[in-house]
Structure 1
Amino acid sequence: MPSRAISAVTPHGGAVGAVTRGTTNTNRLRRVDRWIAAQPLLRRTADPLVVDLGYGASGVTAFELHQRLAKARPDVEVVGLEIEPGRVRFAREQLREVREGGTGFDQDARIRFDVGGFEVPLPDGRLAAVIRAFNVLRQYDEGEVAAAWQRMRSRLQPDGILVEGTCDEIGRVASWVAVGREGPRTLTVSLRLTGLEAPSIVAERLPKALIHRNVPGERVHDFLRDLDRAWRVNAPLAPYGPRQRWIAAVQGMRDSGWPVAGGRTRWRLGELTVAWASVAPR
């Protein structure tokens, strides 16, 4: 799909960006949702406002996001933003069904849908604690990522994060960058471990800022090379299950000097988070 400059304003009420394919699948974003739910800022913010930017042809990912985050922060509020007005109308119809009790989602969920893009329009001068922008920047050129990040970063609370990334169609392979107001902080990969042949399968689902950088000489290439090696070295643990093998591989990455964040609670989910500086483009 050809790229469109993010600096251009679309005809859709001044929203900034380009219309995406809109691909949406139930449960597709479960990996990133559970990561967001575990972030300390969600619990400590005075205004738990979370934006699902570019939710696609259906509002289901926004409903799921609210459902998962409410377990950690019951008063969380989710705003679904889409640049295409028809998608907003459809999501609002879905919300009506939720309010009527015709779904498995909370009838009283604090959620709404509006037209918006990278400018992240929010009323009353409010800022977002979290902006989740998943599978949105894949259609753009790498050179347009920084400007998109900057627009979204400006709409964050002081300690807020932009979570920008991508995943496969059924959510078994995912990666994302956590971006604060000061810039990118971390890269996380999250994989379904059962049947995993090599962690580098995530190369096809890296965020746009990195997907074209998986070549010799780039840090992310070194990262994936070393991760594959750690996975192979720990193959003898396979009889104990892929989870034990993955935990050992991640520990091996940390022991070898990679700035791995977190601990086994996150690793056992198939996650690995490293400091952005260790994988940033050269």
Structure 2
Amino acid sequence: MAARTPSRPVGTVTRGTTNPNRLRRMDRWIAASHGPALRRADAPLAVDLGYGAAPWTAVELLNRLRTAAPAVEVVGIEIDPARVAAARPYAREGLVFRHGGFEVPTDRPPQLIRAANVLRQYDEEQVAAVWERLRARLAPEGLLVEGTCDEIGRRHVWVALGPEGPRTVTFATRLGSLDRPSDLAERLPKALIHRNVPGEPVHAFLRDFDRAWAAAAPYASYGARQRWIRTVRDLSADWPVTDRAGRWRQGEVTVAWAALAPRG
């Protein structure tokens, strides 16, 4: 797979923190929601952008996506040349590692770009430009998934964007570790994390989420999953939840981006 050679990678080096299985919730959602588009592509390509100091997330992405689209190939892209050199021994059929950044140096437009824990260190004002640059690299049915999670992947929030712009926000958690839904606020992606203040939609959403969680307390006797499902069902009366109970059972809820988008 030949690559375009950029004059200089775009972006800055991240901390590189990574752990095995850290992105399992995001990967599981991508395989379920984007699998049909990957299968429709003639030569589906996925990018793990900014995989970090170790290649685990790229290796896992290939394995998980191939359960949904056996022909998919993955390119791990890192802006730090030393990380690329360290990852290359893990390359195999369908998986390569390449030096680069937000210019996404691949030989064809990818059907998927996953950028997890990459924009955390950037300013909020920089996010829109990065999103635009990455969206411009997508194939026509492509998807950009950008978000943040904790160190072991128990709590995760991501935005899904098509070539036209942002579509949805997904909140995902290990239910047994959750005290209340607003615990996920600390993992909001950069576009939203500073907007969790009164007067902003995401703040109102998390407030209503906590209220619905409290009202569903009687369901806790049936387990955290049943309490979460009831909570999301009640929440969907006032917020545009776009997924259904099959995803809620996984500790997820997806909401239309327009309902949570920052004001001003």
Deviation of the 1:179 alpha carbon: 0.8
Return the match for 2:203 from 198, 215, 221: 221
Match of 1:25 in 2: 19
Percent same amino acid among aligned pairs?
63
Whole-angstrom distance in 2 between the partners of 1:138 and 1:180: 21
Quote the residue 2:3 is aligned against.
none
Amino acid at match of 2:20: T
Contact 1:47 1:129 (8 Å CA) reproduced = no
* 2:98 is the alignment partner of 1:117: no
Deviation at 1:94, TM superposition (A): 2.8
Counterpart of 2:71 in structure 1 is 75
Deviation at 1:261, TM superposition (A): 1.0
Q: TM-score, normalised by structure 1?
A: 0.89
Kept in 2, the 8 Å contact 1:161–1:179? The answer is yes
**Is the CA contact (8 Å cut-off) linking 1:55 and 1:82 kept in structure 2?**
yes
Provide the alpha-carbon RMSD of the alignment.
1.1
Structure-2 residue corresponding to 1:47:
43
Q: How does 1:132-147 map to 2 (within 5 A)?
A: 132-147=114-129
Give 2:188's match in structure 1, choosing from 196, 206, 209: 206
TM-score, reference length from structure 2: 0.95
What is the one-letter code of the residue matched to 1:268? R
SS at match of 1:178: strand
CA offsets 1:181-210 (integer angstroms, 9 cap, x no match): 111000000011013110111111101000
Q: Tell me what 2:132 maps to.
A: 150
User: C-alpha displacement at 1:44, in angstroms?
Assistant: 2.1
C-alpha contact (below 8 Å) 1:188/1:273 kept by paired residues: yes
Q: CA deviation at 1:61?
A: 0.4
* Structure 1 residue 131, shift from structure 2 partner: 0.1
One-letter code aligned to 2:194: H
Q: Offset at 1:264?
A: 1.0
- Written as runs of structure 1 = structure 2, the 5 A alignment for 1:86-97 is 86-95=82-91
Q: How does 1:1-282 map to 2 (within 5 A)?
A: 14-38=8-32, 39=34, 40-95=36-91, 108=93, 110-123=94-107, 126-255=108-237, 257-282=238-263
Say whether the 8 Å CA contact 2:159–2:170 is kept in structure 1: yes
CA distance in structure 1 between the aligned counterparts of 2:214 and 2:149, rounded to whole angstroms: 24
Q: Relative to structure 2, which stretch is displaced further, 262-271 or 37-46?
A: 37-46
- Partners of 1:81 and 1:114 within 8 A in 2: yes
Aligned residues: 256
Is the contact made by 2:154 and 2:177 (CA closer than 8 Å) also made in structure 1? no
Q: Secondary structure at the match of 1:74?
A: coil
Instruction: For structure 1, list consecutive stretches of 5 or more residues without a partner in the other structure.
Output: 1-11, 100-107
Shift of 1:13: 5.3
